[in-house]
Structure 1
Amino acid sequence: MSEAPEKSARYHQGMATRRSVLGNGYVDQAQQSKTAFDEPFQDLITEAAWGHVWSRPQWSKRERSMVTIALLAALGQDDEVAMHVRATRNTGASREDILEALLHVAIYAGVPAANHAIKIAKGVFNEMDAAEHSEEGK
């Protein structure tokens, strides 16, 4: 049986960026739940999405966050929309930024897609607010 190949520099950069955007808890959970079956996929998204695209200096994480949410909303990727809305606490994208992105979705991808994504974002923001208030009460 061969040993696992050494991870590339792009992978390590991607993992650092992924952690900075999604948070250690989310990434740790994804790492713990991966199997031999999906490890190649996890490596691919870590290198390509996080190590190459999200790590490029031309756009800020805030800008990438807004564009990503708009694209995911347009594609109807509900779980990914929710995940990236949660990540806004790390990217600097404000609720107003997300609303502006979803207004673009309404015009360019359709009102139903934007309407559904707005419902998702509102739910995530409510969860985030509740968690913040419970932390303040401790």
Structure 2
Amino acid sequence: MVSLRKPLPPYALLTPGGQRIYLPDLKGKILVLLRDLGLAWALTTRQEELSALEAQAFLLSQEARESPLPLLLDGEGNLIQAIPEQGALIADPFLEVYHLGPVQDAKELLDWVRFVGAQCPECVLPEAEWL
């Protein structure tokens, strides 16, 4: 199950060519997962900004189709169903989910990526069991 402020489950997805992509292998950069083709096209016009923010973006689909972003296939739709239509899943470089909801456009999506990039896991006190 995908939840805010929790690590992404270790899903395995496929590329259209059949290569298996294990989500934990995508650690190291901010991860953006989309299910909306229009939003994916809008984001490609701002690819330089996305790269400068050290983020990687993918379009999720249950079947192979044309995509302006790298396409990841979620045949059973488990991960796709967690993301609202015209929405995004944005996770930090450690794959902790920071945003799982609608976004209006590529600008708002990049604002979320900036927000996630500004977080500092070392700067936050861990939740104490006594609170």
TM-score normalised by L of structure 1: 0.27
More strand by share: 2
Structure showing greater relative contact order (alpha-carbon pairs closer than 8 Å, 6 or more residues apart): 2
Larger of the two Rg values belongs to structure: 1
TM-score normalised by L of structure 2: 0.28
